[in-house]
Chains A and B, each alone.
Chain A
Amino acid sequence: MTSRFLAVFLIASGAVLVAESEFDHVVKEIEIHYHTKRQHIPFLGLANLVVKVAHPAGTSEFKLAVFEDLKAIDEGDEQDLDRFMHNFSSNRLRPLVRVHSRRDGESIYIYADNDDARATRMLIATFQRDQATVVEVKVDMNALIKWIGSPDEASHVFSNHDDR
């Protein structure tokens, strides 16, 4: 019985690790590709705790990475960005929404990690001029459907570049 529990625990731990690696992978690749480092965000752990308890906007946990001074990102070069982000598409992490706005100088990519559960993980990457934000958030289905229809809202729930 104990070994069965251990097996379940290990499988569950493995699933979490795989899920985490998607976010970490994107963060790492952005750091390499755009010669930047993610910014330190104070009290992020506390914010995550609040999200876990309060479930705002249908979310139950999130991770956030903010980047500034992205090098080698040309304004209007959406195709390069598309190619870069396409590398993260897989059977596990599937692209749902892609938005390019020249008016706002912003590109938004939303991926879903379909784990056949009541909630799904969304990975939202936002690029605006020389800044980028990557958010991984666990959401319920209602939030997912809502955010597919409002990707800009989804990208600004956890961050707003204009405020900085």
Chain B
Amino acid sequence: MRIASLLLAAGLLPVMAQEIKLPANLDKLAAKAEESVDVTLDGSLLKMAARFLSDKDDPDIAKVKRIIAKLEGVYVRSYQFAEEGEYSRADVESVRSQLHGPDWGRIVGVRSRRDGGDVDVFLKLPGNGTLGGAVIIVAEPRQLTFVNVVGTIDPDDVTSLSGQFHIPRLRGSSKHSEEDK
């Protein structure tokens, strides 16, 4: 799946700021995985990074600096497997089902029959005119990735953060959505 190949690495949160919880059985996937990545960046570290990141001569860093100043946490978990079928659809659904409440809206949903990969991007909409966070789930045949971004975030910022902190790249998602369907 083309979009899946654009989306590398990463995962979710241990205690998603938290409301979203990783089921315990998901942790067992690490034991099966050929490679697992766990990234935990809390608010104080992000704020400190925002204060002291040097953004001169680098517009990308300047943008990241602006975005992370408003975040309370970035959590990533990614599992890469040697073979297909090492995780079940129920593993993914256990997380996806927590994002069906009124506070959450799915802005991207890709299902690729060709490559068997799914991509979902959920935004938290608390109803006060701001966005309270984002969850990205990338489920490919041999890779499973969860990302939870907690804090005030703009939808465009989700794209800007992609490729940072092991968050999968999301460029061209709408185009690929159409192609993959």
Interface residues of A (CB under 8 A from B): 78-79, 94-103, 112, 114, 116-120, 140-142, 144-145, 148-149, 151
Contacts and interface: CB of A to CB of B under 8 A. Distances in A.
A100 B48 contact: no
B69 interface: no
Contacts of B31: 78-79
Interface residues of B, number: 26
Contacts of A96: 39-41, 45
B53 interface: yes
A102 B41 contact: no
B48 A114 contact: yes
A107 to B, nearest CB: 10
Given A114-B48, A141-B48, A102 B39 contact: no
Which 6 A-B residue pairs are closest in the complex by CB-CB distance?
A141-B52, A98-B38, A101-B35, A141-B53, A118-B52, A100-B36
A119 B163 CA distance: 23
B30 A112 contact: no
Contacts, number: 71
B33 A102 contact: yes
A148 B35 contact: no
Main SS class of interface, A: mixed
Contacts of B53: 141-142, 145
Interface of B: 30-31, 33-42, 44-45, 48-49, 52-54, 61, 64, 82, 163-166
A60 to B, nearest CB: 13
Nearest to A58: B54
A79 B28 CA distance: 10
A43 B99 CA distance: 55
Contacts of A149: 163-166
Given A112-B45, A141-B53, A97 B35 contact: no
